Amino acid sequence: MPLLTSVLLIDDDSTTNFLNKALLTRMGVVEQVLVAENGEQALRTLGQTCTGPDSAACPQLLFLDMNMPVLNGLGFLEAYVQMPLAQQRAIVIVMLTTSLHPLDQARAEQLPIAGFLNKPLTKEKVTAILAQYFA
């Protein structure tokens, strides 16, 4: 299994972030796990880690929650595609959700996501994502 340099978890639930970070760390598949609690924080994190001298820390994989305050998952994706970064780097974005309204899913499918996963994140789900996109 490949070792990723960085993964960004974007979720407003601190318990979910803690558990997902612990899972990724325990699996030994990533050097650094970054956390953002909403889409706005995530955009700032990408702006800081994906440009300039720190660009080696740019996440290769994002796990994105759909429903968050400040800026939700769809808002994040719509802002992300406007960033020069979106054209420069191939970041795999996976939408994590507990339920998804069909209209939201249709909108999200028009944006650069690799797919949808139901929460919770599991070892099997992470392994499948890594095998599909980073083998």
- Across the range 100-107, mean pLDDT stands at 76
Query: CATH number for the domain including 18?
Result: 3.40.50.2300
Number of domains within the chain: 1
Domain that holds residue 56: 4-134
**Rounded Cα–Cα distance for residues 27 and 31 (Å):** 11
- pLDDT (0 to 100) of residue 87: 63
pLDDT confidence of 88, banded at 50, 70, 90?
low
**Rounded Cα–Cα distance for residues 122 and 102 (Å):** 24
- Across the range 70-92, mean pLDDT stands at 85
Residue among 37, 45, 85 at smallest CA distance from 64: 37
pLDDT digits (tens, 9 = 90+) for 17-61: 999 999 999 999 999 999 999 999 999 999 989 887 767 789 999
